Amino acid sequence: MMKNYFKSVIPETTLRRMVYYTRCLNSFKNEGVKLIQSEDIAKKCGVKSSVVRKDLSYFGEFGVRGKGYDVESLLSTINGITNTFGKMNAALIGVGKLGSAIIKHSTENFNVKIIAAFDKDKKKINKEIGETKVYSVKDIENIIKKYKIKIAIIAIPPSDVQEIVDILVKAGIKAILSLALIPLNVPDDVEVSFVDVLSEVEFLFYKLSLRRNI
Amino acid sequence: MMKNYFKSVIPETTLRRMVYYTRCLNSFKNEGVKLIQSEDIAKKCGVKSSVVRKDLSYFGEFGVRGKGYDVESLLSTINGITNTFGKMNAALIGVGKLGSAIIKHSTENFNVKIIAAFDKDKKKINKEIGETKVYSVKDIENIIKKYKIKIAIIAIPPSDVQEIVDILVKAGIKAILSLALIPLNVPDDVEVSFVDVLSEVEFLFYKLSLRRNI
DNA sequence: TATACTATGTGCTTGTGATAACAAGAGCAA
DNA sequence: TTGCTCTTGTTATCACAAGCACATAGTATA
């Protein structure tokens, strides 16, 4: 039976794994593999095959029972979910060491493309890092609106973050990835996500410490 | 009633929030706040006060009913959980742009200290970034054993990751934070965690896309 | 000392994600 | 067509985390 394209609510954990699956599928594709089974994806990603099937089933029925999934078509179906079918365009604020590392990383890998970067340092403005042009932070609103960018990565000192966040929200940004683990004030319709290496290391310390003390 | 120090099993989500609480408490401390309530922490961290209280209760009873928590003593109690009471020492593999950004970040902020870095590029070996000395990857086992380092951050190209992971495990590393979202082979007693900016951005794309399509 | 007040700590309910077990569908062969 | 095999898609169960709501215990005040 054909079902409506998306089930009611899709768990965040599933969405996170979808990113992982995409990586795996691309890897299979590059190896020339045409057909795979849920078990193959599961092994490669370190999850259970039932999880893979369940995750995929949230979006529709893509497999053939008794056979498996067609790598190519599964990939393009997943790409279709984000409606991008190409690069996912994002902006980056803060072209310091971390910021430029991310730009470099995005040129080498995967699906995300940083199409505009911003900094307040005049020495950096108007230069290019790879294909990414660096603008003044004063131009954030203009450029973001011009290119209809919806996602921004923030790689600036914590003290400046909220000020920039306000500008981004005003410019129409709908999701912010902050590289500093500090609370952000945003409207309800703006997604916020944190990535912080040192926080994660601290978390690992907690985990290790508790292992012995239980 | 005094209870045994740690309750049976502590949820991962709680441990993650503990890191966040630490940040908030330090922030309160710097502002000169002596006494706080669960509601204060909750607001600052964007969670419910009952969650804060429950999280803390996993480790013991630190508050005074009718008053709240003493900032200073709560902080040192939490620090005590990791048995470090000072810096948390970690190693870093790969002194590229990303790696050196992390080292710089760790000198400026928070609790984690990178006490040894490793690279295979001879130009980088024996130099120092801040207070962190850069060693040859050939010395990983020696140095890690010498300083009894238990946690390592990996910031190298995906193709080299597994090779380094094997060396780290052999050297006694018990937790690995990988900056590339690729599966790692490790023994069961080694914790593995991933932090990948671009994966997180992709995840946000999924989230935004689905918002409209439900 | 008694009483009112305040914020903690904690059972208990509720909701959500993970897991396993199973039913259903597709291909193939006789 | 019938039966067999294989792997998907789904259902039912289990485990766990979130949040409420209240009993508890300490503080302040008279």
Token pair of B157, please? 């190209």
Same domain, A74 and A138: no
pLDDT at B213 over 60: no
Same domain, A194 and A92: yes
Is the C-beta atom of B64 closer than 7 angstroms to strand D? yes
Same domain, A33 and A62: yes
Average pLDDT (A40-63) is 94
- The per-residue pLDDT for B4 is 38
Same domain, A68 and A120: no
pLDDT-based confidence at residue B3 (cuts at 50, 70, 90):
very low
State the DSSP code for B83.
T
Average pLDDT (B134-149) is 97
Same domain, A93 and A194: yes
Same domain, B94 and B76: no
> What is the rounded CA–CA span in Å between residue B20 and residue A21?
29
Q: What is the CATH number of the domain that holds B58?
A: 1.10.10.10
B141, part of any domain: yes
A143-196, pLDDT tens digit by residue? Answer: 999 999 999 999 999 999 999 999 999 999 999 999 998 889 999 899 999 999
Taking the alpha carbons at both ends of chain B, their separation in whole angstroms is 50
> What is the rounded CA–CA span in Å between residue A13 and residue B124?
39
Percent of the residues in chain B that have a pLDDT greater than 90, as a whole number: 83
- Which chain B residues have a beta carbon less than 8 Å from that of A161? none
Average pLDDT (B141-164) is 96
A35-48, pLDDT tens digit by residue? Answer: 999 999 999 999 99
Taking C1' of C26 and every protein CA, the nearest residue is A65
Give Rg (Cα) of chain B: 20
Domain stop point among B35, B64, B81: B81
CA B64 to C1' C4 (Å) is 18
| Residue A201 near residue B109 (C-beta atoms within 8 A) | no
- The per-residue pLDDT for B86 is 65
Domain stop point among A81, A102, A135: A81
- The per-residue pLDDT for B1 is 28
pLDDT at B84 over 80: no
pLDDT at B110 over 70: no
Percent of the residues in chain A that have a pLDDT greater than 90, as a whole number: 83
Same domain, A127 and A59: no
Q: How many angstroms away from the CA of A47 is the closest CA of chain B?
A: 10
Same domain, B142 and B195: yes
| Residue-averaged pLDDT of chain B | 91
**What residue has token string 């020492």?**
B89
Domain stop point among A49, A81, A113: A81
pLDDT-based confidence at residue B2 (cuts at 50, 70, 90):
very low
Average pLDDT (B25-35) is 94
Q: Which domain holds residue B52?
A: 12-81
A1-22, pLDDT tens digit by residue? Answer: 233 345 568 999 999 999 999 9
Same domain, A62 and A124: no
- The per-residue pLDDT for A1 is 28
Cβ neighbours of residue A146 under 8 Å, at least 6 residues apart? none
Average pLDDT (A51-57) is 96
Same domain, B100 and B187: yes
CA A66 to C1' D1 (Å) is 20
CA A194 to C1' D12 (Å) is 36
More confident residue, A160 or B85: A160
Token pair of A17, please? 């794994």
pLDDT at B50 over 70: yes
- The per-residue pLDDT for A86 is 65
Average pLDDT (B45-52) is 95
Nucleotide nearest to A61 (CA to C1'): D9
A209, part of any domain: no
Same domain, B133 and B34: no
B130, part of any domain: yes
| Residue A208 near residue B174 (C-beta atoms within 8 A) | yes
Q: Picking from A80-94, A164-178, B98-112, B197-211, which range would have the lowest pLDDT averaged per residue?
A: A80-94
Same domain, A93 and A176: yes
> What is the rounded CA–CA span in Å between residue B26 and residue A182?
12
In A4-128, alpha helices (H): 12-30, 38-45, 49-57, 71-81, 97-108
- The per-residue pLDDT for B9 is 81
Is the C-beta atom of A2 closer than 7 angstroms to strand D? no
B8-26, pLDDT tens digit by residue? Answer: 689 999 999 999 999 999 9
**What residue has token string 């005094």?**
B2
> What is the rounded CA–CA span in Å between residue A142 and residue A208?
47
